[in-house]
């Protein structure tokens, strides 16, 4: 199931980059795209994301439109089956995004799912677990909203998970399946700037026969504000949004009752709006009324519930069926004038927690990166945990049970194959002391460290966040010494630029091994392809080079045996018979024809002096693609045939022995798609010297 994270943004400042980075850090193996929707920001926040995080897609609005149209634009641009909407100042906790997506799947896409919301300290970028908000309530009369405790919400079981029915939702973080989003007519594109768009969407969900479910195990931090600090909200826009919500969702009688009460609640004149706030709001509402009427017709024709059902379901005093005239009904009610719009206040702090032990992972710290050394040695990683929340500190007397896992998905790298490397987990127990991890193999990728301990009957668990192990390209001098002769060094320079990893040579680091640009799975210094490289050869340049040296030696041996293979073929013997028949026809005696061995120079010579054997071994390293005249793999050299396809044989005068000739196979005679036709020349053209 493909997921889209839709992040709405307007003048978010540094919070936007931190939001997106936080999402990336907790995605783990969740397959998700990130779409940032820019509501015509005039600060540098979106540009910074585009510069620093190119994996993110950005969508730009030509003009400032507000929260609801921005979310709608993001949903339209997103490609996912599940949409997770986030504000540009949120921080999801590890596992929370995946859990929301799983919840949507467990409901078969028939519910909106909301997380537990923590107050996010935007300066320190930390979530406060003591300030947690769960459900959200809605008053259909005033359209006021506020937080609900879990104890005030009905619990339901969905796929063995305990979720809670929430009357409404707050739009800073929620997940929904695309089919349900479209069924609900999406976020209202004609609601202006800020206000009630989330309440409207949640009400539509319930009235269309679906539910809003709250998962308290999914946790996302949100920067709550008591006032607008990065934009202004015209009060008439807020009120016009309320008019749209009421008009779309209420039946005609309820709409008229609500309209009359709303007109009395809002002052006719104010210092800011002397010509009447209500009049300006109504004119604003009326300009886009046609779209409200269109959506109203769709909703009322499709929904299975109405506002009266909603009031009964969630214990509201209004609306209710009454025999009294509308005007009399509202004259008896207390209607308090309302001020301008205010953003939702943050959730109130919960009561002080009872002291219970917790487990903290002190080392490594979140986001830390370790590097395999340039000598292909694993880094030193020390893990340390501590028991917190109780006194005296029981840490020195506690057994800590550690699990260390490395995993690597090659498909995330440039030209990477669909291959994963998951070595066996390392398990170890320490008594009150840190763990120095002894890695048995050279491996890189995502590093997960989990520690468990039992304290006072509580099983405690802590888990690392976003750790990784990257590789370091070998020092030039070290690699030079590891390759026994100049030809292999030239091959390494030609194949990889002397790089094991996708970074600069001679000490550059990267989380990705260097995979071949032809997408054939070749990897590392020697670009090993066939046989498929082992996990060691992917992550250890020394293992890669050792294997490359061994493969080259094998190619040299096969090159040495090629002439004898040619001579042993039936095709060659048939050509010898034909050659001797021609000699006999001309009165010449038959001769014994042999295929000469390749000339050999060894490797301690200049490239121009290399023998046929050495050149053919170089060809073999790239592969002997195609076939010669005898059905054998096509080597760097072939037996010379005349225009009629007969053997060209050199027979000394008076001798009964003859030898064939060798000729170099031109690049044009090599098959397409069979490696590099000019591979030998390309290798020899590489500049001499160390890597």
Phi, psi values for residue 68, rounded to 5°: -70, -50
Tell me: do 12 and 80 sit in the same domain. yes
State the pLDDT at residue 458: 82
Confidence of residue 235 (pLDDT cuts 50, 70, 90): confident
Tell me: do 273 and 214 sit in the same domain. no
State the pLDDT at residue 392: 86
| Residue 324 predicted with pLDDT over 60 | no
Give the pairing type, strands 111-121 and 211-222.
parallel
Q: Which of 419, 453, 471 is the last residue of a domain?
A: 471
The arithmetic mean of pLDDT across residues 242-251, rounded, is 96
Which residues have C-beta within 8 Å of that of residue 568, sequence separation ≥ 6? none
- 268 vs 158, which has greater pLDDT? 158
Give the pairing type, strands 435-437 and 445-455.
unpaired
pLDDT tens profile 368-377: 999 999 999 9
Is there a domain that residue 490 lies in? no
List Cα–Cα distances, 447 to 139, 430, 536, in angstroms: 48, 19, 17
Confidence of residue 356 (pLDDT cuts 50, 70, 90): low
Which residues have C-beta within 8 Å of that of residue 63, sequence separation ≥ 6? 40
List Cα–Cα distances, 151 to 136, 154, 392, in angstroms: 12, 8, 34
pLDDT tens profile 597-641: 999 999 999 999 999 999 999 999 999 999 999 999 999 999 999
List Cα–Cα distances, 206 to 169, 190, 252, 296, 312, in angstroms: 11, 21, 19, 15, 13
pLDDT tens profile 106-165: 999 999 999 999 999 999 999 988 788 899 999 999 999 889 988 899 999 999 999 999
Tell me: do 317 and 373 sit in the same domain. no
Phi, psi values for residue 261, rounded to 5°: -65, -40
Tell me: do 64 and 208 sit in the same domain. yes
Tell me: do 109 and 241 sit in the same domain. no
* Alpha-carbon span 195 to 236, nearest angstrom: 11
Q: Which of 222, 244, 259 is the last residue of a domain?
A: 222
State the pLDDT at residue 277: 79
Q: What percent of the chain has pLDDT over 70?
A: 92
Q: What CATH number corresponds to the domain at position 446?
A: 2.60.40
State the pLDDT at residue 128: 87
- Give the number of C-alpha atoms closer than 13 A to the C-alpha of residue 179, restricted to the C-beta side: 9
State the pLDDT at residue 228: 53
Confidence of residue 341 (pLDDT cuts 50, 70, 90): very low
Is there a domain that residue 311 lies in? yes
Cβ–Cβ under 8 Å, residues 219 and 96? yes
* Alpha-carbon span 623 to 304, nearest angstrom: 68
Tell me: do 240 and 383 sit in the same domain. no
Q: What CATH number corresponds to the domain at position 94?
A: 3.90.550.10
Give the pairing type, strands 3-9 and 82-87.
parallel
State the pLDDT at residue 230: 52
Tell me: do 126 and 181 sit in the same domain. yes
- 331 vs 533, which has greater pLDDT? 533
Q: Looking at the DSSP assignment, which residues form a beta bridge with residue 437?
A: 381
The arithmetic mean of pLDDT across residues 318-339, rounded, is 47
| Residue 340 predicted with pLDDT over 50 | no
State the pLDDT at residue 337: 42
DSSP 466: S
* Alpha-carbon span 476 to 487, nearest angstrom: 16
Tell me: do 566 and 601 sit in the same domain. yes
pLDDT tens profile 420-455: 999 999 999 999 999 999 999 999 999 999 999 998
* Alpha-carbon span 600 to 645, nearest angstrom: 28
Is there a domain that residue 531 lies in? no
Is there a domain that residue 663 lies in? yes
State the pLDDT at residue 226: 61
Weakest mean pLDDT among 230-239, 487-496, 568-577, 670-679: 230-239
| Residue 273 predicted with pLDDT over 80 | no
DSSP 385: E
State the pLDDT at residue 342: 45
- The rounded radius of gyration (Å) of the Cα atoms in the chain is 37
State the pLDDT at residue 232: 63
* Alpha-carbon span 417 to 408, nearest angstrom: 12
Token output for 41: 């920001």
Q: Which of 418, 441, 471 is the last residue of a domain?
A: 471
| Residue 333 predicted with pLDDT over 50 | no
Phi, psi values for residue 364, rounded to 5°: -70, 160
State the pLDDT at residue 353: 34
* Alpha-carbon span 526 to 555, nearest angstrom: 14
Is there a domain that residue 404 lies in? yes
Concatenated DSSP letters of 328-358: HHHHTS------S--PPPPPPPPPPPPP--E
Please give the model's pTM, rounded to 2 decimal places.
0.52
The arithmetic mean of pLDDT across residues 499-518, rounded, is 96
* Alpha-carbon span 385 to 359, nearest angstrom: 7
Residue 309 domain boundaries: 236-331
Is there a domain that residue 486 lies in? no
The arithmetic mean of pLDDT across residues 62-82, rounded, is 94
The arithmetic mean of pLDDT across residues 399-425, rounded, is 93
Tell me: do 207 and 312 sit in the same domain. no
∠ CA(477), CA(483), CA(487), 5° rounding? 115
Q: How many helices (H) and strands (E) does the chain have?
A: 19, 29
How many structural domains is the chain composed of?
Answer: 4
Is there a domain that residue 534 lies in? no
Nearest to 437 by CA among 413, 460, 477, 405: 405
Mean pLDDT for the chain overall? 90
Is there a domain that residue 496 lies in? no
Tell me: do 300 and 420 sit in the same domain. no
State the pLDDT at residue 673: 78
Tell me: do 179 and 79 sit in the same domain. yes
Confidence of residue 456 (pLDDT cuts 50, 70, 90): confident
CA–centroid distance for 17 within its chain: 16
Nearest to 307 by CA among 110, 146, 135, 140: 140
Phi, psi values for residue 446, rounded to 5°: -75, 135
Phi, psi values for residue 526, rounded to 5°: -95, 5
pLDDT tens profile 457-505: 788 889 998 899 999 999 999 999 999 999 999 999 999 999 999 999 9
pLDDT tens profile 520-550: 899 999 999 999 999 999 999 999 999 999 9
Tell me: do 184 and 265 sit in the same domain. no
């Amino acid at each position: 199931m493909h997921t889209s994270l839709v992040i709405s943004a307007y003048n978010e400042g540094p919070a936007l980059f931190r939001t997106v980075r936080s999402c990336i850090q907790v995605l783990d193996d969740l397959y998700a795209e990130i779409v940032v929707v820019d509501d015509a920001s005039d600060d540098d926040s979106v540009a910074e994301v585009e510069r620093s995080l190119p994996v993110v897609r950005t969508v730009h609005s030509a003009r400032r439109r507000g929260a609801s149209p921005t979310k709608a634009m993001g949903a339209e641009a997103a490609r996912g089956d599940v949409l997770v909407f986030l504000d540009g100042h949120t921080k999801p906790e590890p596992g929370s995004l995946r859990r929301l997506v799983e919840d949507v799947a467990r409901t078969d896409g028939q519910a909106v799912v909301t997380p537990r919301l923590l107050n996010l300290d935007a300066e320190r970028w930390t979530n406060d677990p003591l300030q947690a908000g769960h459900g959200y309530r809605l008053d259909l009369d005033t359209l006021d909203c506020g937080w609900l405790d879990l104890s005030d919400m009905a619990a339901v079981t969905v796929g063995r998970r305990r979720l809670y029915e929430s009357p409404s939702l707050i739009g800073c973080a929620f997940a929904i399946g695309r089919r349900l989003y479209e069924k609900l007519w999406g976020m209202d594109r004609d609601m202006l700037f800020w206000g009630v768009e989330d309440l409207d969407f949640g009400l539509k969900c319930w009235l269309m026969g679906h539910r809003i479910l709250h998962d308290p195990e999914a946790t996302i931090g949100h920067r709550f504000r008591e006032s607008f600090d990065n934009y202004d909200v015209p009060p008439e826009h807020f009120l016009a949004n309320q008019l749209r919500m009421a008009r779309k969702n209420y039946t005609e009688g309820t709409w008229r009752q609500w309209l009359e009460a709303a007109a009395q609640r809002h002052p006719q004149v104010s210092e800011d709006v002397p010509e009447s706030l209500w009049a300006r709001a109504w004119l604003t509402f009326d300009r886009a009324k046609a779209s409200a009427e269109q959506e109203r017709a769709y909703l009322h024709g499709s929904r299975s519930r109405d506002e009266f059902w909603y009031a009964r379901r969630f214990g509201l005093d209004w609306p209710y069926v009454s025999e009294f005239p509308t005007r009399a009904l509202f004259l008896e009610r207390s209607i308090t004038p309302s001020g301008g719009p205010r953003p939702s206040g943050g959730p109130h702090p919960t009561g002080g927690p009872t002291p219970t032990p917790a487990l903290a992972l002190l080392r490594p710290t979140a986001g830390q990166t370790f590097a395999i050394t340039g000598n292909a040695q694993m880094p030193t990683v020390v893990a340390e945990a501590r028991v917190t929340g109780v006194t005296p500190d029981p840490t020195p007397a506690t057994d800590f049970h550690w699990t260390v896992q490395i995993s690597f998905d090659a498909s995330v790298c440039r030209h990477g194959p669909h291959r994963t490397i998951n070595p066996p987990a390392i398990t170890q127990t320490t008594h009150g002391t840190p763990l120095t991890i002894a890695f048995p193999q050279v491996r890189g990728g995502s590093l997960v460290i989990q520690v468990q301990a039992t304290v006072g009957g509580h099983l405690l668990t802590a888990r690392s966040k976003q750790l990784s192990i990257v590789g370091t390209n070998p020092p030039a001098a070290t690699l030079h010494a590891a390759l026994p002769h100049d030809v292999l060094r030239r091959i390494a320079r030609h194949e990889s630029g002397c790089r094991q990893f996708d970074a600069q040579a001679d000490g550059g680091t990267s989380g990705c091994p260097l995979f071949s640009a032809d997408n054939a799975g070749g990897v590392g210094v020697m670009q090993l392809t066939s046989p498929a490289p082992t996990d060691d050869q992917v992550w250890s340049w020394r293992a890669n080079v050792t294997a490359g040296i061994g493969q080259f030696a094998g190619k040299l041996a096969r090159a040495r045996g090629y002439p004898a293979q040619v001579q042993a073929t039936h095709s060659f013997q048939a050509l010898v018979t034909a050659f001797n028949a021609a000699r006999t026809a001309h009165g010449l005696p038959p001769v014994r024809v042999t295929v000469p061995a390749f000339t050999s120079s060894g490797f301690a010579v200049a490239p121009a002096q290399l023998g046929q054997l050495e050149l053919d071994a170089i060809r073999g390293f790239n592969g002997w693609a195609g076939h010669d005249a005898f059905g054998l793999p096509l080597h760097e050299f072939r037996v010379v045939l005349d225009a009629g396809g007969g053997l060209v044989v050199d027979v000394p005068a008076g001798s009964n022995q003859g030898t064939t000739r060798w000729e170099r196979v031109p690049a044009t005679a090599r098959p397409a798609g069979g490696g590099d036709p000019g591979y030998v020349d390309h290798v020899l053209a590489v500049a001499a010297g160390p890597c």
